[in-house]
Each structure stands twice: as C-alpha cells, then as structure tokens.
Amino acid sequence: MRKVISFSKAFVPSVIISGVLIVFGLVGLFTRGINYGLDFQAGFIEKVRIAPTAFSLTYTGSKSVTVEQSANGIDFVITSVGDDNLTRSFRYAEVSTVGAFRSAVASIEGLSVVAEAPDSVALASVFPDSQAFSRLSAVPYRFHYIPSDIAPISSDDVRDAVSGTFPDAAVQVLGAEADRFFQIRLSDDGTDPDASVTLFKGLNKTLSDAFGEENIAVISSDFVGSRLSSSLARQSVWLVLTTLVLIWGYAAIRFRWDFALGAILAILHDAIIMVSFIVWTQMQFNATTLAAILTILGYSINDTVVIFDRIRENMKFHPEMKITELLNFSQTEMLGRSIITTVTTMLAVLSLYIFTSGDMKDFALALLVGMVSGVYSTIFIASAFINFVGKFRKDGGRIPEKKAKPVLSNSGELV
C-alpha cells in the first residue's frame, strides 16, 4: 500500500507563512505602491530606436510625393493636379541594397537621395521615423539602420540622457542592447491640457540633444488620459471580482459551500501573492500582467477542482476515514499528477521567459510565480480550510451515507 503523506501537519505552518507573505505584500502595496503601466496610468509612451541615418530623401519638384515602407519594399505615390496617382514601387527582391535603391530612384524627377550607409547595406533592414511627415519636401526624410559594428546603448545611457528633463522617466530595453530599441514612459500629472504634444516634443528634443537629431527614429508613440486610465483600473477590479464570484458559484454547485469557499480562498491567495510579487519587484502592472493573474486564477481552480473530485470520490469509497485522513490520502494520490502537470507547463512558460523580452517576459515570470503558488494553495490553503470547517460539521466533514429506501415485499412487509 502506498505510504500516505501527512500534508495536514503542514496546514497550520502553511497558513501562518501565507499570512506573513500577504501582510508583507500589503505593506509593500502601501509603502512602495504599484508600478502602473500606461494601461492604468495617465501618461505618454514612446518606442524609439537610436540609430544612424542610412539615407535621406528630399524632393524639390512641383508634384506631391509621399513615401511608404511596407514588408515588401518602399513605395512612392506621386500626385499632381489633373493627373492620376502614380505609384513607383521598389521591392526588396529586386532592389536589395541601399546602393541599388539610390540608383533606381534616380528616375523620379526632383527626388534626391543622400546615402550615408555603405551601398552594401540591405534595403530591408532600414526603417524610417514613423512620426515624420511622409510627404517629401526640401526637409530631409530619413531612413535609419543599425551598423553591425556599432556600439550598443544601454537603458542606463538613455535614462541618464532624459533624467534631467524627465526625472520620473521609465526606460526599458526592447530586444538586445545591440538593437538600440527602447520604450520610454513618462507620467502625466493632469495639469497640462496638451500633455501629449508637450511630452512628445520635450522627449524628442531631449533625445536629439543627447544623441543627435539625425540618429533618432520614433517607431511609435501613444498617450492615455487620466479618465481612461481610471476607467480601465475600475473595470479590471470588477473583472477580477466577477471572476471570483462565478468560480465560487461553479464550485458550490459542483461540490458544497465549504469546498467552494476553500477554492475561492486558494485562488484569492494566489492573486494576492502575485500582486505582492509585482509590488516588491516593481514589475510594470499593465494589461498583460492582469492577463497573467486571470490565467493563474483559471489554472489554480482547475487544479483545485481535480483534487476536490478525488476527495469527494474517496469520501464515498472510504466512509470510515475522518476528513483529515481523507485529505492526506487524496492529496497523496494526486501528488504525482500535480507535479507532472505543473512541471511540464512551467517548462513551456520558462522557455517563454528565456526567449522573449519586454511585456511577454514579465507575463511569463508572473505565470511562473502563480503556478508555484497555485499548487501550494490547493494542497495547503484550500485543504486546510476544508479540514478546519470539517471539525465543526455534524458529519465530520464527510459525505454522509445515504440510507437505502425501504422496499415492500410481495406480501407487503418491509425488507
């Protein structure tokens, strides 16, 4: 017979440890606060690459010429009064290098190309400043590139460059340092009605002064107002609370009230542990992090329901066991399943954590913490609550045996 592990001996110490961790997290919540991302905090966010100019385009003709870059190549749309639009496309498959591109566009009258990158640089590797006006004029429209031998720039370098003007700026590297790709977040205190314009101009001037205007390529920018950010925060709280209520209703119908409440306490424990981890590591709390918390709620309740099913089944087959013995026996039977399921899932999430960056890396890290907490809470928190309540139930926490209904014999006597 398999040896039964006495999980019940760790119920009280586990509850104490969890209580300490939760209090520790609440202290951090009130002292350090949550590092809200742009999804839940009013502010400005910009993704920028600090890269030298590959070539610049200028136009001095009488027509209107706009330039667009796609996944397949670079297109020029030429329009003039009384004429149809004309599109000149230069595909990477046909014009593969900067040198070939410079020669090819010479056929467009009034268009000039000044190349600063070597002719051998792949045309597909260049990228423009997405915020620049794409209608060409005498003002240079720049395409940038990352030379293979250029020195990397760290987030500390960028942070030092903007800290004089924006001391609260949050700088994050996107990808490898060699890519020179950064996400910069600035908070908005709500006093400036034109904060989006002010922050955009101020940040780009600061970056241009530090690294050179010709080396700044804005990939994207976004701004979230305080009203929208507050609305999203409230909706997120209601979303989590609604999830908990629905899970409680499901567990109450499938099992009974003490099992349902134990399951809610377990997943509530997991959510608080994850929030505590986010607070103390100052991980950015955004929509991706919220998705990780909701994912763990689903993962944890699934693990809890599987364990509860086994407990309920053993109650029927082992009516002689007390609730504590049933919990230990059922947890021992399901321990192998819990370990295998959790470890295999964690291996996939670990790969996500190792090979990704930015928000996806934070998402994977939050999942790893939540999975460990989920298994722990199912074994020690939910079961500890059921064991505690069972001591006060008349049936001892077990499912009472159903008495057989009386049956009348042919003679009319009870059998």
CB 216 within 8 A of CB 48: yes
Q: What mean pLDDT is predicted for residues 296-308?
A: 83
328 burial (CB, 10 Å; 0-12 / 13-18 / 19+) is: buried
Alpha carbon distance 379, 236 (integer Å): 28
Whose structure tokens read 């586990």? 14
CB 54 within 8 A of CB 306: no
Which letter does DSSP use for residue 97 in this model? B
Give 402's pLDDT tier (boundaries 50, 70, 90).
Answer: very low
> pLDDT tens for residues 117-126?
888 888 888 8
DSSP letter for each residue of 315-363: HHH-TTS-HHHHHHHHHHHHHHHHHHHHHHHHHHHHHHHHH--THHHHH
pLDDT of 387 strictly over 70: yes
Give 16's pLDDT tier (boundaries 50, 70, 90).
Answer: very high
Q: Given this model, what pLDDT does residue 405 score?
A: 47
pLDDT of 403 strictly over 50: no
pLDDT of 305 strictly over 80: yes
Alpha carbon distance 377, 399 (integer Å): 23
Give 414's pLDDT tier (boundaries 50, 70, 90).
Answer: very low
Beta-carbon contacts of 164 under 8 Å, excluding residues fewer than 6 positions away, are: 206
Q: In what side-by-side order are the strands of the sheet with 73-79? A: 64-69, 73-79, 86-91
CB 327 within 8 A of CB 307: no
Q: Given this model, what pLDDT does residue 218 score?
A: 87
> pLDDT tens for residues 45-101?
888 898 899 998 888 888 888 888 888 888 888 887 666 678 888 899 888 888 898
Mean pLDDT of the chain: 81
Rg (CA), the chain: 31
> pLDDT tens for residues 157-179?
888 888 888 887 778 888 777 88
Beta-carbon contacts of 27 under 8 Å, excluding residues fewer than 6 positions away, are: none
b (16+ CB within 10 A) / e for 203-238? bbebbeebbeeebbbbbebebbeeeebeebbeebee
Which letter does DSSP use for residue 105 in this model? G
The domain locations on the chain are: 7-39+228-390, 43-224
Beta-carbon contacts of 311 under 8 Å, excluding residues fewer than 6 positions away, are: 326, 327, 330, 386
Q: How many residues does the chain have?
A: 415
CATH number of 7-39+228-390: 1.10.3720.10, 1.20.1640.10, 3.30.450.20, 3.30.1360.120? 1.20.1640.10
Alpha carbon distance 22, 272 (integer Å): 7
The backbone region for 357, taken as left when phi is positive above 0, alpha when psi lies in -120 to 50, beta otherwise, is beta
Q: At what angle do helices 287-317 and 257-281 cross, to 10 degrees?
A: 150
Alpha carbon distance 161, 142 (integer Å): 23
> pLDDT tens for residues 125-149?
888 888 778 888 888 888 999 888 8
Instruction: Specify the range with the lowest mean pLDDT, choosing from 12-16, 265-269, 319-323.
Output: 319-323
CB 9 within 8 A of CB 387: no
Which letter does DSSP use for residue 101 in this model? H
Alpha carbon distance 107, 104 (integer Å): 6
Q: Given this model, what pLDDT does residue 284 score?
A: 78
pLDDT of 247 strictly over 60: yes
DSSP letter for each residue of 18-45: HHHHHHHHHHHHHHT---B-TTTS-EEE
> pLDDT tens for residues 186-228?
877 666 667 778 888 888 888 888 888 888 888 888 776 555 4
Alpha carbon distance 38, 145 (integer Å): 28
